[in-house]
Amino acid sequence: MACTILRKEELAPDINLLEIAAPMVARKARAGQFIIIRIHEWGERIPLTVADYDRDAGTITAIFLAVGKTTEELAGLASGDGIADVVGPLGNPAEVPRDSVVVFVGGGVGVAPVFCEAREFKRAGNRVISILGARTADLLIWEDRLRAVSDELYITTDDGTKGHHGFVTDVLAEILAEREVDRVVAIGPAVMMRVVADVTRPSGVKTIVSLNPIMVDGTGMCGSCRVVVDGKTMFACVDGPEFDAHQVDFTLLMSRLAAYREEEALSLERFHGEKTDGVGGK
């Protein structure tokens, strides 16, 4: 389905918010799900998690980090521009417990999908503790929105410019040492989710991560999003994207994410060249 960008906003350096008109997706979207977009006819398909939705307005919000060719191209679009295809909602919605103490851990742009889930968990009567982390204070996003749906909120920055000087996992370890927690949900870079799994493993607290392998079709047909969970092959697009963190083979996930580094670098280089030559974006 072709969609129009209603709002495009740079929230932090290289971190952009995109609100698109997609009434059919908004009607069904639930926390934990994602969309796949293709900017134009020649574009690649990329998945983005649903960070927010408004069923009445018929809109979907995604937040993305410009890391390569397609996300840079997306960052160059403006309100009023069109996107050729938006498919979704895809993947399984997050499983929402009741009357539980849940710690959410959001790293980088992972904070946005954490907001969407934390809001749903809070509405279902859970006690929500959120830990939000970034490399530096300038890269923290949606702090106020997350605070509004959390009973407690902790901030960490790698360089100490705001909140705890260190990693989200330092605060998580302190919380786990002090009190009873029923569940931990972590969304962010693969390396962060892996460390969260290591921190919660000794106590056996149920830990859920949202996996981000390379995806193409998003419907279980192409096999590109293959992950191994509990020794079994799964497709993150249809079996996930959320899985039991203690069962995930993170080494495989991280090596598959890096499989096309050379091609990705070349594609970005060509894109920059095209922009300089005035060809741009095809």
- The residue from 62, 134, 171, 205 that contacts ligand FAD (CB under 6 A) is 62
Kindly state the smallest distance separating residue 40's Cβ from ligand FES, in Å: 20
Near ligand FAD by CB under 6 A, which window of 43-51, 79-87, 122-130, 135-143?
43-51
Nearer to ligand FES, 34 or 64 (CB): 34
* Strand 206-210 versus strand 183-187 pairing type: parallel
Sites for ligand FAD among residues 186-245 (CB under 6 A): 212-215, 241
Q: Is 150 in the site for ligand FAD (CB under 6 A)?
A: no
Binding ligand FES (rule: CB under 6 A), the pick from 176, 222, 228, 257 is: 222
Nearer to ligand FAD, 46 or 168 (CB): 46
**Contact criterion met (CB below 8 Å) for 141 and 11:** yes
Q: Does 215 bind ligand FES (CB under 6 A)?
A: yes
Instruction: Round to whole Å and give the CA distance between 221 and 81.
Output: 30
109 binds ligand FAD (CB under 6 A): yes
Q: Is the peptide bond before 47 cis (omega within 30 degrees of 0)?
A: no
Helix (H) or strand (E) holding 243: strand 242-244
CA distance 192 to 143: 19
CA dist 59 and 77 (Å) reads: 17
Least spacing, CB of residue 182 vs ligand FAD, in Å = 25
* 18 Cα distance to chain centroid: 14
C-alpha–C-alpha distance, residues 29 and 53, integer Å: 7
Distance of CA 232 to the CA centre of its chain: 24
User: Using the rule CB under 6 A, which residue among 25, 26, 46, 199 binds ligand FAD?
Assistant: 46
Q: Which residues bind ligand FES (CB under 6 A)?
A: 215-218, 220-225, 235, 237
Q: Which residues bind ligand FAD (CB under 6 A)?
A: 34, 46-49, 62-65, 67-71, 109, 212-215, 241, 257, 261, 264, 268
